[in-house]
Amino acid sequence: MSRDLHLIVDGVAFQFPDSPSSRLWHDLLPKLAENVRLTILDRGGAPRVDGAEFVGFPAHTGRDTAADSVLVDRFCKHLAADVFTSTRFTTPLETPMAILVGDLLPAALHQKTATREWREREIAILYAQARICLGAKAGDDLETLFPYLAKDSITVAPAVDLVAGASPPPEAVAVLAEDLVSALHEVAERSKREEQVRFYQKWAQLRALQAEVDF
């Protein structure tokens, strides 16, 4: 696939260097850089990746999350991004997005769904135009918690078990990168449709309002 597609990745997971997400993305980013033009929003701790550009970005605090989305989207537009993804659950406003989704039910059971952390996870899943599930269990969780999502927006990739703290198998990372790049191309193309443009406009208005009241 052409590297003409400009992808911005929010490196927020690297604020938490021992997290499962940071271990996965540490291995995934070089694969992405081989297939797209890659820019990483570095909130601190992002690994250096050959062929990628890095842009300093404010640390994620868990507060003012709607305002954070506004700033993410401003950077996406300023840098002329075609597509966006996040190493956790941050979002832009009007930039096409694909997202990786792990097991959700454990988080749903152990977090109150009214908390900001869960709400931002839910917002990211709903905003994304493509969801790549890390195994069948993640796909089942997504269908259970979000049964109204379009089936063609969901891809089930090979399971990636990061609980033990080990790096993911290289073959699983390669397949995951291929699935993600394919999804990013699809959402970039889909973003040109009139109904998708209207969705972005309405979404931006909602998040801007939420930012004003520190939602």
Q: pLDDT tens-digit profile of 77-98?
A: 999 999 999 999 999 999 999 9
Q: Is 208 helix (H, G, I), strand (E, B) or coil?
A: helix
Q: List the chain domain ranges.
A: 6-212
SS3 call for 167: coil
Residue 15 per-residue DSSP state = G
Lowest mean pLDDT across 28-42, 46-60, 94-108: 94-108
Proportion of the chain above pLDDT 70, given as a percent: 91
CATH fold of the domain at 6-212? Rossmann fold (3.40.50)
Q: Is-contact 86 10, C-beta < 8 A? A: yes
At residue 64, does pLDDT exceed 60? Answer: yes
How many residues appear in the chain?
215
Enter the pTM of the model. Answer: 0.91
pLDDT at position 32:
97
d(CA 171, CA 73): 33
Question: With 50 as the cut, is the pLDDT of residue 18 above it?
Answer: yes
Q: What values do phi and psi take at 134, rounded to 5?
A: -85, 70
Angle, helices 65-78/194-212, rounded to nearest 10 degrees: 130
Nearest to 183 by CA among 63, 82, 51: 82
Q: Mean of the pLDDT values across residues 117-138?
A: 91
Contact present, 137 and 101 (Cβ < 8 Å) = no
What b/e readout covers 143-162, taking b as 16+ CB neighbours within 10 angstroms?
eeeeeeeeeeebbbbbbbeb
Q: For residue 105, which amino acid is it? A: L
Q: What is the pLDDT of residues 137-196, one digit of tens each?
A: 999 999 999 999 999 999 999 887 766 566 788 888 999 999 999 999 999 998 888 888
- Angle between helix axes 170-190 and 20-33 (nearest 10 degrees) is 70
Q: Please report where in the chains the tokens 């994304």 appear, as a residue.
A: 128
